Structure 1
Amino acid sequence: MDHIGYIAAFLTTFAFLPQAVKTIRTRDTSGLSLAMYACLTIGIAFWLLYGIHLQDVALIGANSVTLILALPILLIVARNALAERRRLKAAAHAADLLHNK
């Protein structure tokens, strides 16, 4: 069963690699949910803490790597969401100025 745990940890951890590489390269997060990535990243951090508490090498290793891959995605998604919110606010303000002239 330990081998199954290590295989599961490897597969679920490295499943993040293609998304991390694509997001970091392109900065395109249009299809990603900020709420989902925030919950996921916090969950991964908690799994890491749990693995440390249990001194479980598979949990510690898998969740350390997953956190390293998920955190940059979360930061990029958050930055893009904030920039989009600012852009929409500026556009609405500009529209109000034009409408009120």
Structure 2
Amino acid sequence: MLTTLIGLGAAVCTTSSFLPQVIKAWRSRSTHDISTGMFVLLTTGNSMWLLYGALIGDLPLVLANAITLALVAAILGLKLRYG
């Protein structure tokens, strides 16, 4: 149980770290200084972590990467739209 709580705590911290960037990019409509390559790799990696977590049945891994994937995909989408 403690291991799961630590995993969930880590998931909340790392996942929520993308929220300020999503909000800033959405409000400013500016993504000039964001690396497209980095976010393509990050989106791919998060997709793979999500699949891995689902395959091994690890709830913290699945939740963290599902939410993170949505946030980084939003940033990537804003980057592609606003350049």
TM (norm. structure 2) is 0.89
- AA of the residue aligned to 1:51: G
Aligned residue for 1:29, secondary structure, equals: coil
- 1:38 partner amino acid: V
The unaligned stretches of length 5 or more in structure 1 are 82-101
* Seq. identity, %: 42
Unaligned runs of 5+ in 2: none
Q: Specify the code of the residue in structure 2 equivalent to 1:22.
A: K
TM-score computed with the length of structure 1 as normaliser: 0.75
RMSD: 1.1
Moved over 4 A (4+): none
How many pairs were matched up? 81
Residue 18 (structure 2) pairs with residue 16 (structure 1)? yes
Is the radius of gyration larger for structure 1 or structure 2?
Answer: 1
2:49 aligned partner: 47
What is the Cα deviation at residue 80 of structure 1? 3.1
Higher relative contact order (CA 8 A, sep 6+): 2
Do structure 1's residue 56 and structure 2's residue 58 form an aligned pair? yes
**CA shift at 1:74, angstroms?**
0.4
